[in-house]
């Protein structure tokens, strides 16, 4: 597929580009999601203006916020388990970086092209649980401990719907490679009409629902924000963190919103691709080189749409209680996901 | 006491008992004592609640108050009567005007004077505006306690209109200090009545909005229905008042049930009750009360009599010797003042009965056996104001 590259980039150059691309792919969605949704959309929903002073329409507010957090003292409670306390935000952030490594942004613009990309993404996404649990325990704070325990219960319970939601897509595409899933959607056709490709949201809408709800819970966004629950647990597992360690948690939270939206748009909305029929492409090798630039932009747009969904729900709903959350996972999402897989499998074999 | 309760209430009672019993059974677990407060986002003030937890279940709870005690009862002994309204404004700081009225009425009762009709009507209007400003904030605060941030901002937006009205009439947004013995400080400004009608329409819109967004939300109902049930008998025993009592099914409203020189009996309105006694019932009753209050204000504005706003009172107010008790239905519940006068410029002793202090006394009973998130839902729905607890 790199045969069509106009300029042959040496291996070290490609590696450097991929590392930088990974950092950009984490920080850019995080920044955009925070500014566009957390600052501005939330404010408009709540009939206020949001940040207006720093830069035009408050666009530089993010810089100011980051500056503020960097200036703050890095404190730790006296009785905390210091080494682990300091490590915890890193673990959470690392999980986000590992997650973005699996995301393909274009025909050649991928960071690592795993054969089992879906499996890998689901596996590394649960590393953040470890960081959160450790943060809750090491803080030597009762609120943090409760938050950490809640997070552990919740994130482990919602791994299963997350997997079940993706399985339908994997069955339909016949591959666990995210690149293959993108191609399968864009080269596909709806009853012979290929003007729109075949984005899996049309056939896997139940899977999409299950996946998005599970993502909402994995991200600990309201209505599933019990681990943070600022009116009950002050700030849950983050209570004792300040300065740049808090910033790391914060970046991880919103970068993961972005990255999960990226993965969801790859699984269900056709990822970086446009319907191949528009340009007469057949397979991945036919895709023009400009898609390495256009693809990320298309993917970014789809990511913003899905992040908007996540944030919209976040600002609208009150919070569940943990037992209600568990009941919702085991009694609604998991049966739905299983039924979806059964139906998909039957149709896959039959058709 | 169990035989007094209905079947539904017995369930709550048994659940609490079971939680007590869990201390000694099952695995050998270690309880955890958690201080909710004095600095905690859910207590909006400095209330401290000590809870002993088994996992996330509360087995024992006790509110500790007094962190904001300002000694108003003692301070009133060294103030003259007109000075005292400044102090008592700050008891329930969200519905300040409503604090002044019972005190002024008690003083008027001792002096055996009565405010002219126009003053009575304007007093009632401002009283209801204070109630609306107070409960609108409660409805918004409910959202943030249960994790929905947006309704809070809607509440602050719409409360602003009511505060502007109060400011227009009295000059003070939070602490009007407008009520005088024998009447009011001033008449209403020009155009205020029309403005008030518009605002009442906006508040009714806000109530509909909150009902759509929050009270009618499935998650909200899941979180509040059947949570923190206070049976009728328990509510009466603990001396609950206001919407908390009405939500337990007791049809009791001092605006209707007693004769005061106010204008509530001149208009047509309804006292809402709810049979359930849970957190949802308390929220729902308050929502209906806000709607009812806007109707009261609208009707009062229609029939506002003309005339003086001040009765004939001496320039230097001396209250004759005697004792008087007047209580009114304030936004938070029954608020009353017991004044003992020895014929001086100021009272000899004043006892303030504020609603929140009695309302939170039920917490040890109602918090047993619930989960930590429910603690917050119950606290939010009981609705206390720290100034009203500690005075």
**Alpha-carbon distance values, B215 to A176, B94, B274, B282 (Å):** 44, 22, 15, 11
Nearest CA in chain B to A223: B147
How many angstroms separate the CA of residue A281 from the nearest CA in chain B?
47
Tell whether the model's pLDDT for residue A231 goes beyond 80.
Answer: no
pLDDT at A219 over 60: yes
Task: Evaluate the CA torsion angle A76, A80, A86, A90 in order and state its sign.
Answer: negative
Structure tokens at B188: 């209403």
Place A244 in a pLDDT band, splitting at 50, 70 and 90. Answer: confident
Residue A234 lies in a domain: yes
Tell me the shortest Cα–Cα distance from B56 to chain A, in angstroms. Answer: 8
For residue B295, give how far its alpha carbon lies from the nearest alpha carbon of chain A (Å). 26
Say which of A143, A146, A223 has its CB closest to residue B219: A223
- Predicted local distance difference test score (pLDDT) of residue B176: 87
pLDDT in tens, A190-204: 777 777 778 888 888
Nearest chain B residue to A314 by CA distance is B148
Residue A45: list chain B partners with CB under 8 A: 150
* Residue A172, pLDDT score: 86
**Tokens read off for B108:** 């008027």
- pLDDT for residue A6 is more than 60: no
Q: Residue-wise over B130-167: b if at least 16 C-beta within 10 A, else e?
A: bbbbbbbbbbbbbbbbbbbbbbbbbbbbbbebbbebbe
Read off the pLDDT of residues B176-191 as tens digits, 9 standing for 90 and up.
888 888 888 888 888 8
Please choose, from the candidates A135, A184, A139, the residue with its C-alpha nearest in 3D space to the C-alpha of residue A155: A135
Length of chain A: 351
- The tens-digit pLDDT sequence of chain B (391 residues) is 445 556 666 666 776 776 666 555 555 556 777 778 777 776 677 788 888 887 778 888 888 888 888 888 888 888 888 888 888 888 888 888 888 899 999 988 888 888 898 999 999 999 999 999 999 988 888 888 888 888 888 888 888 899 999 998 888 888 888 888 888 888 888 889 999 999 999 999 999 988 888 888 888 888 888 888 888 888 888 888 888 889 888 888 888 888 888 888 888 888 888 888 888 999 999 999 999 999 999 999 988 888 888 888 888 888 888 899 999 988 888 888 999 988 888 888 899 988 888 888 888 888 888 888 888 888 888 888 888 888 8
Asked if A222 lies within 8 A of B147 by C-beta distance, the reply is: yes
Spatial separation of the C-alpha atoms in residues A96 and A56, rounded to whole Å: 30
Nearest to B219 among A231, A320, A323 (CB): A320
How many angstroms from the chain centroid is the CA of residue B305?
Answer: 29
Contact call for B146 and A222, based on CB within 8 A: no
- Residue A159 counted as domain residue: yes
- The reply to whether residue B220 touches residue A323, judged by beta carbons under 8 angstroms, is no
- A–B interface: beta-carbon pairs under 8 A: 80
Average pLDDT over chain A reads 84
Minimal C-alpha gap between A220 and chain B (Å): 12
- Does residue A99 have a pLDDT over 80? yes
Q: What mean pLDDT is predicted for residues A160-179?
A: 87
Instruction: List the domains of chain B with CATH numbers.
Output: 72-361 (1.10.645.10)
Residue A186 lies in a domain: yes
Residue of B nearest to A42 (CA): B150
The number of residues making up chain B comes to 391
Say if the Cβ atoms of B219 and A47 lie within 8 Å.
Answer: no
Instruction: Tell me if A4 is assigned to some domain.
Output: no
DSSP E strands in chain B: the ranges are 32-36, 48-54, 57-64, 179-180, 183-184, 322-330, 333-341, 349-353
Q: DSSP strand E in B189-321: where?
A: none
pLDDT tens by residue, A291-307: 888 888 888 888 889 98
Give the Cα separation of B25 and A309 in Å (integer): 46
Return left, alpha or beta for A270; rule: phi > 0 is left, psi -120 to 50 is alpha, else beta: left
d(CA A154, CA A129): 9
Minimum distance, in Å, between the CA of residue A246 and any CA atom of chain B: 19
pLDDT band at A7 (very low <50, low <70, confident <90, very high): low
Residue of A nearest to B153 (CA): A46
Structure tokens at B335: 């608020």
What is the reported pLDDT for B338? 92
pLDDT score at A4? 45
The boundaries of the domain holding residue A186 are 11-350
- A5, part of any domain: no
Selecting from B219, B373, B374 the residue whose C-beta is nearest the C-beta of A317 gives: B219
Do the chains contact at B147 and A319, CB–CB below 8 Å?
yes
Please state the domain count of chain A: 1
Instruction: Please state at what angle helix A117-125 crosses helix A243-268, rounded to 10 degrees.
Output: 150
Chain B residues whose beta carbon lies within 8 Å of the beta carbon of residue A318: 143, 146-148, 214, 217, 219-220, 223
Q: Which residues in A lie closer than 8 A to residue B157 (C-beta atoms)?
A: 47
CA A187, A188, A193, A196 torsion: positive or negative? negative
Band (A3; pLDDT cuts 50, 70, 90): very low
* Contact map slice: B 353-372 vs A, CB within 8 A: 371-372
Angstrom CA distances, A340 to A165, A182, A344, B26, B117, stand at 8, 20, 6, 40, 71
pLDDT at B147: 80
Provide the shortest C-alpha distance from residue B216 to chain A (in Å). 11
Among A46, A234, A319, the residue with its CB nearest the CB of B150 is A46
Residue B127's contacts (CB-CB under 8 Å, 6 or more residues apart) are B97, B98, B101, B262, B328
Of A146, A222, A231, the CB nearest to B376: A231
pLDDT in tens, A34-45: 888 888 888 888
CA distance B153 to chain A (A): 6
**How high is the pLDDT of residue B30?**
66
Give the residue from chain B lying closest to A44, CA to CA: B150
Give domain status of residue A1, yes or no. Answer: no
Q: Is B221 on the interface with A (CB under 8 A)?
A: no
pLDDT of residue A2: 45
In a domain, A168, yes or no: yes
Query: Nearest CA to A262 among A45, A89, A21?
Result: A21
* DSSP line for A289-319: TTHHHHHHHHHHHHHHHHHHHHHHHHHH--P
Minimal CA separation from B291 to chain A, in Å: 22
pLDDT score at B4:
56
User: Is position A116 within any domain?
Assistant: yes
| Chain A residues whose beta carbon lies within 8 Å of the beta carbon of residue B43 | none
Q: What confidence score (pLDDT) does residue B239 get?
A: 86
Which of B150, B152, B221 best tests the A interface by mutation, with the highest count of A CBs <10 A? Answer: B150
B149 touches chain A (CB under 8 A): yes
Cβ-based contacts of A47 with chain B (< 8 Å)? 153-154, 157
B231 CA to chain A: closest CA distance, Å?
23
Q: What is the CA radius of gyration of chain B?
A: 22
Q: Can you list the pairs that B15-21 forms with residues at least 24 positions away whose Cβ atoms lie under 8 Å? A: B15/B369, B16/B365, B16/B368, B16/B369, B18/B369, B19/B54, B19/B57, B19/B58, B19/B59, B19/B368, B19/B369, B20/B59, B20/B368, B20/B369
Contact residues of A toward B, CB < 8 A = 42, 45-48, 142-143, 146, 222-223, 225-226, 229-234, 315-324
Which of A231, A235, A316, A319 would you mutate first to test chain B, the one with the most B CBs within 10 A?
Answer: A231
A47 and B157 within 8 Å at the Cβ level: the answer is yes
Check pLDDT > 50 for residue A1: no
Closest to A201 in 3D by CA, of A217, A220, A219, A181: A181
Residue A209 has pLDDT above 50, yes or no: yes
Per CB-CB distance under 8 Å, the chain B contacts of A223 are 147, 219
């Amino acid at each position: 597929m790199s045969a069509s590259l106009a300029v042959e980039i040496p291996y070290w150059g490609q590696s450097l580009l991929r590392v930088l691309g990974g950092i950009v792919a984490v920080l850019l969605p995080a920044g955009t999601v925070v500014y566009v949704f957390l600052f501005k959309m939330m404010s408009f929903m709540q009939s206020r203006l949001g940040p207006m002073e720093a830069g035009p329409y408050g666009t530089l507010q993010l810089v100011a916020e980051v500056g503020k957090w960097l200036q703050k003292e890095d404190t730790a409670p006296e009785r905390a388990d210091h080494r682990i306390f300091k490590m915890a935000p890193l673990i959470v952030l690392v999980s986000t970086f590992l997650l973005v490594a699996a995301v393909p942004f274009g025909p050649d613009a991928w960071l690592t092209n795993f054969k089992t990309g879906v499996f890998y993404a689901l596996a590394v996404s649960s590393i953040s649980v470890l960081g959160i649990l450790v943060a809750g325990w090491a803080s030597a704070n009762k609120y943090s401990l409760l938050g950490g325990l809640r997070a552990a219960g919740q994130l482990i319970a919602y791994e299963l719907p997350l997997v079940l939601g993706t399985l339908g897509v994997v069955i339909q595409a016949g591959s666990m490679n995210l690149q293959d899933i993108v191609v399968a959607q864009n080269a596909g056709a709806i009853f012979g009409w290929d003007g729109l490709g075949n984005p899996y949201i049309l056939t896997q809408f139940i899977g999409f629902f299950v996946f998005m709800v599970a993502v909402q819970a994995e991200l600990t966004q309201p209505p599933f924000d019990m681990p943070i629950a600022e009116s009950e647990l002050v700030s849950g597992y983050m209570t004792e963190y300040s300065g740049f360690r808090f910033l790391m948690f914060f970046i991880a939270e919103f970068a993961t919103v972005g990255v999960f939206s990226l993965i969801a748009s790859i699984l269900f909305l056709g990822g970086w691709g446009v319907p191949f029929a528009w340009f007469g492409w057949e397979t991945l090798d036919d895709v023009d080189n400009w898609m390495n630039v256009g693809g990320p932009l298309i993917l970014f747009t789809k990511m913003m749409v899905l992040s908007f969904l996540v944030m919209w729900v976040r600002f609208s709903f009150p919070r569940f209680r943990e037992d209600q959350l568990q009941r919702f996972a085991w009694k609604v999402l998991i049966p739905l996901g299983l039924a979806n897989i059964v139906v998909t499998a039957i149709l896959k074999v039959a058709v | 006491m169990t035989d007094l309760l209905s079947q539904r209430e017995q369930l709550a009672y048994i659940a609490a008992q079971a939680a007590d019993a869990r201390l000694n059974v099952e695995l050998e677990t270690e309880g955890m004592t958690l201080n909710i407060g004095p600095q905690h986002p859910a207590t909006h003030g400095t209330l401290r609640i000590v809870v002993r937890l088994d996992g996330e279940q509360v087995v024992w709870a006790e509110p500790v108050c007094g962190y904001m005690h300002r000694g108003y009862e003692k301070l009133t002994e060294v103030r003259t009567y007109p000075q005292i309204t400044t102090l008592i404004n700050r008891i329930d700081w969200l519905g300040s005007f409503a604090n002044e009225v019972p005190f002024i009425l008690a003083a008027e009762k001792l002096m055996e004077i009565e405010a002219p009709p126009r003053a009575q009507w304007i007093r009632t209007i401002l009283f209801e505006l204070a109630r609306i400003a107070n409960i609108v904030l409660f409805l918004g605060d409910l959202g943030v306690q249960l994790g929905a941030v947006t309704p809070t901002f809607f509440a602050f937006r719409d409360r602003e209109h009511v505060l502007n009205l109060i400011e227009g009439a009295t000059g003070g947004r939070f602490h009007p200090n407008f009520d005088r013995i024998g009447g009011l400080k001033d008449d209403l400004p020009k155009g205020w009545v029309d403005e008030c009608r518009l605002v009442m329409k906006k508040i009714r819109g806000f109530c509909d909005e909150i009902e759509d967004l929050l009270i009618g939300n499935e998650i909200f109902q899941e979180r509040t229905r059947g949570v923190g049930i206070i049976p009728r008998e328990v509510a009466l025993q603990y001396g609950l008042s206001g919407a908390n009592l009405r939500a337990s099914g007791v049809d009791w409203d001092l605006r209707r049930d007693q004769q005061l020189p106010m204008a509530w009996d001149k208009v047509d309105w309804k006292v809402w009750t709810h049979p359930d006694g849970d957190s949802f019932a308390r929220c729902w009753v308050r929502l209906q009360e806000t709607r009812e209050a806007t109707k009261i204000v609208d009707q009062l504005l229609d029939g506002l009599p003309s005339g003086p706003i001040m009765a004939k009172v001496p320039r230097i107010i001396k209250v004759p010797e005697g004792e008087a008790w007047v209580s009114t239905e304030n936004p938070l519940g029954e608020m009353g003042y017991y004044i003992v006068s020895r014929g001086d410029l100021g009272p000899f002793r004043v006892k303030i009965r504020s609603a929140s202090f009695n309302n939170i006394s039920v917490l040890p009973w109602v918090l047993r056996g619930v989960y930590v998130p429910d603690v917050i839902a119950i606290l939010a729905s009981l609705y206390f104001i720290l100034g009203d607890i500690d005075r």
